[in-house]
Amino acid sequence: MKRLCLLAALAGVLLGAPPASAAFTAPELFVRQQTWDTHEETGPWMPLAAAPSIDFLGGYEVGFKLQDSGEPNNLQRVALQVTGVPDGTPTQPGNASPYCVTRIGAPGTIAPAGPELQFEGDGAYTVRVSIGPGTGDGASCLAGPSRSGSFGVDVHVTPVLVGEPLSLRLTPLPGMPFVGVQAAAPPGGEADVRCTLGALSVPDPSFAHPAVVEDVFPRPGQWSCMARGVAEGRDDNNDIASFATPWSAPLLVDVRSDFRRAAGSISRPRSTRPRFTFKAEWPDEAAGGRATLTLSRVTGCKSRRLKLRKAATIHGRFGARQMRVVIRRPRKLAFYSGTFRFGGTRFLRAGVDPFPLLLRRTKKRFGFIDPRGFPRCPGYRA
């Protein structure tokens, strides 16, 4: 019997029978940055035993070190399973669990254990990789020894204030520079900036915005601005979806505005001391601000422009909702132009209201007139 066994073994060698597969051990695992959609390698392999932290949103490739399989071309199969993600439920439609692949190569070479993983938020990602012979059915890829490992994703995006934003800027800045809140794009993704004031939120939250330009703010006030990183991926239906990092700590931003009147009215227009009432575009922000009304009489035209002569100066202060001043009615029957200058508050800049007051003094009254009835040069008629 011993002689027959020896002859059989010798015949196997002479006929080129494949040697028995080598015994596998738990695989040594690695990870590197690699975009899940374009498959571009962007970083070196890092051992999962060190639980590395990655500052990248584009995707991650898990690798393993090839072992001596004892098969032709060193054939071996591995199974990749995603067992943990930051949000608790893996959303990896490109990685069926388990994902079994066959690899060849020299022992000690690092090879991918499956397709790239997509970003699912900041935090820990855990995987398990099993290794076994290169032949067998689908279940056999889980039959060999396995090892688990994890890596962390830690991406931070910070909002930055640029300049002094105004929700209304009457005179554009030279060169039209950017003024507002912005954030730098994180590696492998894009920045998303959001600012809130009470129930107000800008910009449109339907897609990511890396910056909030000053004129997007609908009103002055102290806004709270936050930023986060966003990366595109796929949901369980393989539809395009967005995954994001947590929002940053809030950045408090004072958004101001140039002053503009909302309305003006006059009471007792027939008296010698009529009363003006003014409201600001932002009455709460104007409260406490001083203002000066300068009345000038139209005396004619010069170089196609109206000639004005100063007639009166009236000072006042805005209350909780409005400002009232009493003036002396001008003596001369004429057209008058009023310039309203605001002294400024925390959220409203000092400046001149862009809309002049257009008035007329007749024998019976003194008050506002329709702009279409106010004189223009040339052709001025008193």
DSSP 230-251: EEEEE-TTS-EEEEEPPPPPPE
Residue 81 · residue 29 · CB < 8 Å: no
Encode pLDDT of 6-21 as tens digits.
333 333 333 343 444 4
Nearest CA-CA partner of 58 in 82, 80, 42, 81: 42
Q: Which tokens is 103 given?
A: 């690899």
Per-residue pLDDT at 380: 56
Which residues fall within 8 angstroms of residue 122, CB to CB, at 6 or more apart? 86, 153, 154, 155, 245, 246
Per-residue pLDDT at 28: 98
What integer best gives the mean pLDDT of the chain?
90
| DSSP β-bridge partners for residue 241 | 233
Q: What percent of the chain has pLDDT over 70?
A: 92
Encode pLDDT of 229-253 as tens digits.
999 999 999 999 999 999 999 999 9
Q: Which of 56-65, 87-96, 169-178, 212-221 has the lowest mean pLDDT?
A: 87-96
Cα distance between residue 5 and residue 107, in whole Å: 32
Q: What percent of the chain has pLDDT over 90?
A: 78
Per-residue pLDDT at 381: 56
Chain centre distance of CA 176: 21
Residue 157 · residue 182 · CB < 8 Å: no
Count of Cβ atoms closer than 10 Å to residue 201 Cβ:
13
